[in-house]
Amino acid sequence: MKRALFAVLTFGFVLTFGGGATAQSVDPLPSWNNGKAKESIIEFVVKVTKKDSPDFVPPNERIATFDNDGTLWAEQPMYFQLLFALDRVKALASQHPEWKEKEPFASLLKGDVKGALAGGEHAMLDIVMATHAGMTTEEFEKLVKDWIAIAKHPKTARPYTQMVYQPMLEVLDYLRGQGFKTFIVSGGGIEFMRPWVEKVYGIPPEQVVGSSIKTRFEIRNGKSILVRLSELNFIDDKEGKPIGINSRIGRRPIAAFGNSDGDLQMLQWTTAGKGARFALFVHHTDAEREWAYDRNSSIGRLDKGLDEAQANGWTVVDMKKDWKVIYPPAKR
Amino acid sequence: MKRALFAVLTFGFVLTFGGGATAQSVDPLPSWNNGKAKESIIEFVVKVTKKDSPDFVPPNERIATFDNDGTLWAEQPMYFQLLFALDRVKALASQHPEWKEKEPFASLLKGDVKGALAGGEHAMLDIVMATHAGMTTEEFEKLVKDWIAIAKHPKTARPYTQMVYQPMLEVLDYLRGQGFKTFIVSGGGIEFMRPWVEKVYGIPPEQVVGSSIKTRFEIRNGKSILVRLSELNFIDDKEGKPIGINSRIGRRPIAAFGNSDGDLQMLQWTTAGKGARFALFVHHTDAEREWAYDRNSSIGRLDKGLDEAQANGWTVVDMKKDWKVIYPPAKR
């Protein structure tokens, strides 16, 4: 195995002996610079997939979980789901004349996002409920699909689905090629992710765990529907992540990928299992190609997580040094 | 297609053109007598899997959901999970001297199950919480595994995992062979099913939806654990089934299998989708080989469901007529 790793680092190719019967000589992570982070991923995968390895894990137990915001796609200048909500507030404003006088909507409609969010969690919840509830699940799915198809990022002008990290797409593909089942475990809304993640990440809707609001079953005009209610169901963040993983997946992951303190408990839960385990934080260190933030950021704060990663020998990706590219080539 | 179905009925073999490239000449449902029920299953599967069919459904959307109690395994004389709980009450009694005076435990410990359950939902909840909460998720998993390995059914003396329906095991296998993803959607406890369903049904833990209690994340002696709390999280029954399906799977099934009014909303939700849909009720009509019950049963009541099935042309399995055998051959 060490020989294979040496080959990766020296010649840029790797021998893997995992899911397939034949050795491959293709670098599974071409957008990663050679170094500790890349080496640690490949070393782990080889270790758990090689048949005669003492750390071999059968395919049905090869569960890998990924945070979404800041781990699979960007999360600056704010969570993309919040940008969706702001666009929805604008679209709905004509139906809500009262919003002109009512915070947080009044500030939002004047373009003062900071002022609107000064109301903290309560303001955020008002915005989410006003834009994410009150319609059927099918109607909401269509709103998300329509938005994600045309909305552009304020800084890069890329569609949001092209603000995903190419090196992480390669990790997803690599793991699946080695018999892993890949899941998203995100603090973001589950119904905001499901309409597009299968196409973008190759992760089907049934492998998405996220935050959610409640729904009500109704028969309307003889047809059964689910109506989205203004009531929180589950917050899939921090302690919520292992709880959500246990509830939704029912199996402890053997590998977990995150980027913030909101992912810390998921990494703790994952690595507390028996046998070989893998934990990785994406550290946003690239102010030029992406963003640089960690201990003091209000979005995606990585503080305790950095300390625990060091103490436990988890992998920390230095985005600037470890990634050859950030985003996939632009598509039209 | 009609020709293939004719072949099934006449010669007992079938040509399918689904997931695989080559035609098969093996009866996929050998424990089913020829007749409408068997024909309807095969007709549906051929229709959605044949590449040039107007009803073709791509593999990633081939979601099939199965109720568990009364649909995949028996549920008489009472839900098997309740029998597990009663055994746990006996095992825990020495640690709870107060139970001798306290209902519903006092009656249970005297062997008076009926008297204990006379307390209705409240009594049932007391029993569940006393036996299903207060330990870690790992500890509970072990309790279930240990019990299911040795407990025997009071009437048949079979292990509970051999009280599963052979004809339904064949449906599960047939669907998966044709590219379907099979899920359990049960009113039963999710953590009571997960420890054994992969081995028995070939359904992995992450494809189980069920009722659940809340858990709490804790770091105990430096190790992260989840503690099971005496608080309901979700009841996956009736209206809860479509809600649970939407929340956990995030895709509407194209086929749903149940046996009681508790499954009715799942079948309504499934068949309300666009394109070809399939809905089936197992009707317990076999007092000799299994049990006969429907409109007036307190367990697994099938009343409204029978009417809706007739009105909508859903498949109703007449267990006595349609199934050659009920259980798999006895194993030692």
Chain B residues with CB under 8 Å of A249 CB are 205-206
Chain A: closest CA distance from residue B251 (Å):
7
Alpha helices by DSSP H, listed for B50-165, are 80-92, 105-109, 113-117, 120-132, 137-150
Question: Is the pLDDT at A326 greater than 80, yes or no?
Answer: yes
Most A CBs within 10 A among B201, B212, B226, hence the mutation to make, goes to: B226
Residue A262, phi-psi category: left (phi > 0), alpha (psi -120 to 50), beta (remainder): alpha
Q: What is the mean pLDDT of residues A137-148?
A: 98
The pLDDT > 70 percentage for chain A reads 92
Which residue does chain A place closest to B183, by CA atoms? A206
Structure tokens at B207: 């494809």
- Taking CB atoms and an 8 Å limit, are A243 and B207 in contact across chains? no
Q: Tell the burial category of B188 from Cβ atoms under 10 Å away from its Cβ (0-12, 13-18, 19+).
A: buried
- Read off the pLDDT of residues A57-107 as tens digits, 9 standing for 90 and up: 999 999 999 999 999 999 999 999 999 999 999 999 999 999 999 999 999
- Read off the pLDDT of residues A235-285 as tens digits, 9 standing for 90 and up: 999 999 999 999 999 999 999 999 999 999 999 999 999 999 999 999 999
The reported pLDDT for the residue numbered A281 is 98
The reported pLDDT for the residue numbered A24 is 52
The reported pLDDT for the residue numbered A22 is 46
Structure tokens at B99: 């139970």
The reported pLDDT for the residue numbered B40 is 98
pLDDT tens for each residue of chain B, 332 residues long: 444 454 444 444 444 444 444 455 699 999 999 999 999 999 999 999 999 999 999 999 999 999 999 999 999 999 999 999 999 999 999 999 999 999 999 999 999 999 998 888 899 999 999 999 999 999 999 999 999 999 999 999 999 999 999 999 999 999 999 999 999 999 999 999 999 999 999 999 999 999 999 999 999 999 999 999 999 999 999 999 999 999 999 999 999 999 999 999 999 999 999 999 999 999 999 999 999 999 999 999 999 999 999 999 999 999 999 999 999 998 76
Q: What Cα–Cα distance (Å) separates residue A63 from each residue in A66, A228, B183?
A: 10, 30, 18
Rounded Cα distance, A235 and B140, in Å = 24
> DSSP string of A165-187?
-HHHHHHHHHHHHTT-EEEEEEE
Question: Is the pLDDT at A5 greater than 70, yes or no?
Answer: no
- Taking CB atoms and an 8 Å limit, are B239 and A251 in contact across chains? no
- Closest Cα partner for B233 from A186, A234, A206? A234
Q: Which of B190, B207, B224 sits opposite A269 (nearest CB)?
A: B224
Rounded Cα distance, A77 and A82, in Å = 10
Rounded Cα distance, B262 and B305, in Å = 9
Question: Of all helices (H) and strands (E), which one includes residue A39?
Answer: helix A36-49
- Taking CB atoms and an 8 Å limit, are A268 and B219 in contact across chains? yes
The reported pLDDT for the residue numbered A332 is 60
Evaluate if pTM is beyond 0.90: yes
> Beta strand A255-258 with A63-66: parallel, antiparallel or unpaired?
parallel
Sign of CA dihedral B94, B98, B102, B103: negative
Which residue does chain A place closest to B59, by CA atoms? A204
Rounded Cα distance, B225 and B131, in Å = 19
Q: Which SS3 state, helix, strand or coil, does residue A289 take? A: coil
Structure tokens at B43: 């007709």
- Taking CB atoms and an 8 Å limit, are B206 and A250 in contact across chains? yes
* Least confident range of A45-59, A96-110, A212-226, B108-122: B108-122
The one-letter amino acid at A120? G
Rounded Cα distance, B13 and B5, in Å = 9
Q: Which of B181, B206, B217 sits opposite A243 (nearest CB)?
A: B217
Most A CBs within 10 A among B224, B249, B270, hence the mutation to make, goes to: B224
- Taking CB atoms and an 8 Å limit, are A212 and B251 in contact across chains? no
The one-letter amino acid at B88? R
Q: Which of B216, B219, B243 sits opposite A215 (nearest CB)?
A: B243
CA B226 to chain centre: 26
Q: Is the peptide bond before A329 cis (omega within 30 degrees of 0)?
A: no
Alpha helices by DSSP H, listed for B134-263, are 137-150, 166-177, 190-201, 240-248
Q: What is the CA radius of gyration of chain B?
A: 21
Q: Which of A204, A226, A242 sits opposite B246 (nearest CB)?
A: A226
**CA angle centred on B275, ends B269 and B278, rounded to 5°:** 55
DSSP state of B152: B
Structure tokens at B285: 């009509």
For the CA atoms of A30, A35, A37, A43, what is the dihedral angle to 10 degrees?
80
- Taking CB atoms and an 8 Å limit, are A265 and B217 in contact across chains? yes
Chain B residues with CB under 8 Å of A268 CB are 219, 224
On whether the CB atoms of residues B96 and B208 are closer than 8 A, the answer is no
The pLDDT > 90 percentage for chain A reads 89
Chain B: closest CA distance from residue A145 (Å):
15
On whether the CB atoms of residues A31 and A37 are closer than 8 A, the answer is no
The reported pLDDT for the residue numbered A11 is 43
Question: Mean pLDDT over all residues of chain A?
Answer: 93
The reported pLDDT for the residue numbered A121 is 86
- Closest Cα partner for A140 from A150, A130, A155? A130
On whether the CB atoms of residues B55 and B48 are closer than 8 A, the answer is yes
Within 10 Å of residue A199's Cβ, how many Cβ atoms?
10
Which residue does chain A place closest to B220, by CA atoms? A272
The reported pLDDT for the residue numbered A330 is 86
- Taking CB atoms and an 8 Å limit, are B239 and A233 in contact across chains? no
- Taking CB atoms and an 8 Å limit, are A60 and B204 in contact across chains? yes
Structure tokens at A197: 């993640």
Q: Which of B204, B215, B246 sits opposite A243 (nearest CB)?
A: B215
Which residue does chain A place closest to B237, by CA atoms? A217
Cβ neighbours for B63, distance < 8 A, ≥ 6 positions apart: A206, B180, B181, B183, B249, B251, B252, B253, B254, B255
The reported pLDDT for the residue numbered A6 is 46
Per CB distance under 8 Å, which residues of A are interface residues toward B?
Answer: 60, 63, 137, 181, 183, 190-191, 194, 198, 204-208, 212, 214-217, 219, 223-226, 233, 239, 242-243, 246-251, 265, 268-269, 272
Structure tokens at A233: 């169901």
The reported pLDDT for the residue numbered B15 is 43
Chain A residues with CB under 8 Å of B268 CB are 219, 224
The reported pLDDT for the residue numbered A331 is 76
- Closest Cα partner for A234 from A203, A216, A209? A209
Structure tokens at B104: 């519903």
Q: Which of A60, A191, A206 sits opposite B249 (nearest CB)?
A: A206
> DSSP string of B14-37?
----SSSSS---S-S-TTBPSSHH
Q: Which SS3 state, helix, strand or coil, does residue B295 take? A: coil
